Amino acid sequence: MKHMKKLLSLVVALVMVMAMAMPAFAHSITITDADGSTEAHTYEAFQIFSGEYDATAQKLFNVDWGTGVAESGTFTFKEVTYDLAKKDDAAKLAEALSGTANEADDAKAFAQAIAAVLTGTKATVTSDENHQAIFTDLSDGYYFIKEAEDSLEAGTEDAYTRYILSVAGRDLTVTAKSSVPTVTKKVQDINDSEDTEAGDMQDSADYDIGDHVPFTLTGTMPGNIDEYKTYNYVFHDTLSAGLSYDNNAVVKIGDQDVTDAFTITHTDGQLTIGCDNLKAIAGVTITPDTQVVVTYTATLNDSAVTGGVGNDNKVNLEFSNDPNGDGDGSTGTTPDDTVVVFTFKVVINKVNENQRPLEGAAFTLQKKNADGVYEDIEGMVNVPALKTEDGSYTLNFTGIDDGDYKLIESTTPDGYNTMEDQYFSVIAEHDADSDDPKLTSLTVKYFDKEGNEITDPADQVLNFTTDTGDGSLTTDVVNRFGSLLPSTGGIGTTIFYVVGGLLAVGAGVLLITKKRMSREV
């Protein structure tokens, strides 16, 4: 019996030692980063209230101020001032926060109010490769969790999460709440030999130099836009050297023109369209479903790149990314969204019938409009074939798109036959829906002057070779020396018939005259 008492005393002592060595309460809170998070988030946990958690009642009892706040001082929440040195004030505040009708707004207001006194102990954890941050060994209490200040890099495409308030009396998993907007850019395409209006919005197009290319930017809202007091919203649009902004941007939210609420600047290809606070635009209610739509045109200019490289035009969106502040200062940036405008060139090599370079020729390129009329193209009228370094005579019609064309030999070398007008169509295919649009094919079809397709290569005067890399369509144009003999059914044949008839009549007259003279003798 005596030994049993000693053993029992030893066990009790051991249990007491183990109890002293272990936390009385050890809980964890796991924070899972919000969907779409791209960066690691660093969270800080402050114990606002300590107490004893009753799992049955799911409530914290014997509430006192926690280790995360200062030992003394005051702060005001909902027009009530609380004293950190008074335990009763902790219980009063806990009761005021319990079961509020507007939890999200109250939590944000409470977090902003108590931020000034969060000078005590805090736990800091950064999310891992699984986008989870785990706080361990937490004693019972009420915790305020926020992201560490300036923990996201400037310009990141991510956003800070909303403040988290949670009771630790059991192991918990909480999903962080953050959201970011998106931006897309689109361009309209048109075949102006067939259509009078541009088609659907897409990620690529082809145009002639001098054309006004229509673009659209569409920005969305974050799902938690209601949590922001103000919201900064700026489109950063970059035009390549081959595109000149036409100074005509229009900004709309729904059907309302809000261009005057935005500041628009353009310098060296950088187009900026921004509003300091979307939520202050008169007559506009900003919701998670709101879209901001910008439309403008840019002219494809002489610096445009021909071929597969194309002329890109990209945009990103700068946005407020801290719903816990006033909306000023901290901003994120979406990834770039890019569209590409392609243009092409026709290359003419002038040769004689022996395939030797031939000087003295000039050509005009015309394009058919949607009414079926071929029109001169500015800068492509009577363009001479000039001698190049390799001795050939070549000309380039640079900056054309898909459509129907007529090639005219407007000046012919002396002594050579003039080429008949030639008709052809340029057909370009490129990615309409892609993050990285490419020119996929460049082909040609040939037609006679009545519009009938020529499919037999033997009947083609032109024979283009195409290169999608540099966007070129290249052909030789052959001139033959001397005059062309008239063809069957032509005026030359008619002349032979007339002359032959006259000769026959003359012979008949001569024969009759000779007979009369014989009789008279």
Per-residue three-class SS string for 329-341: CCEEECCCEEEEE
Structure tokens at 159: 């956003």
Q: Within 151-298, where are the H helices? A: none
CA R_g for the chain: 41
Confidence at residue 231, expressed as pLDDT on a 0 to 100 scale: 95
CB 431 within 8 A of CB 267: no
Report the candidate in 491, 366, 459, 347 with the shortest Cα–Cα distance to residue 421.
366
> Alpha carbon 220 to chain centroid distance?
13
Cα→Cα distances 152→31, 157, 394, Å:
16, 10, 58
Strand partners, 517: none
Confidence at residue 485, expressed as pLDDT on a 0 to 100 scale: 43
Strand partners, 458: none
CB 236 within 8 A of CB 262: no
Neighbours of 320 (CB within 10 A): 29
* Interatomic CA distance for residues 26 and 122, integer angstroms: 16
For the residues of 65-118, what is the DSSP string, one character each? E-TTS-SS-EEEETTEEEETT-HHHHHHHHHHHTT-SSHHHHHHHHHHHHGGG-
Strand partners, 168: 141
* Interatomic CA distance for residues 181 and 337, integer angstroms: 13
Strand partners, 338: 314
* Interatomic CA distance for residues 148 and 152, integer angstroms: 9
Structure tokens at 179: 């959201």
Confidence at residue 15, expressed as pLDDT on a 0 to 100 scale: 38
Question: Tens of pLDDT along the chain (521 residues)?
Answer: 444 444 444 434 433 434 344 444 578 999 988 777 888 899 999 999 999 988 887 788 999 999 999 999 999 998 999 999 999 999 998 888 876 555 666 777 888 788 888 887 888 999 888 889 999 989 998 888 888 888 888 888 899 888 888 888 888 888 888 899 999 999 999 999 998 788 889 999 999 999 999 999 999 999 999 989 899 999 999 999 999 999 999 999 999 999 999 999 999 999 999 999 999 999 999 999 999 999 999 999 999 999 999 999 999 999 999 988 765 678 999 999 999 999 999 999 999 999 999 999 999 999 999 999 999 999 999 999 999 999 999 999 999 999 999 999 999 999 999 999 999 999 999 999 999 999 999 999 999 999 999 999 999 999 999 999 999 999 999 998 865 444 444 444 444 444 454 444 454 544 444 544 444 44
Confidence at residue 495, expressed as pLDDT on a 0 to 100 scale: 44
CB 178 within 8 A of CB 149: no
Q: Left if phi > 0, otherwise alpha if psi is -120 to 50, otherwise beta: which for 64? A: beta
Confidence at residue 103, expressed as pLDDT on a 0 to 100 scale: 61
* Residue matched to tokens 């031939």: 358
Run of H or E including 23: none
* Interatomic CA distance for residues 516 and 509, integer angstroms: 11
Task: End-to-end CA distance of the chain: give it in Å, rounded.
Answer: 186
Confidence at residue 4, expressed as pLDDT on a 0 to 100 scale: 43
For the chain, list the domains and their CATH numbers. 23-175 (2.60.40), 183-341 (2.60.40.740), 344-479 (2.60.40.10)
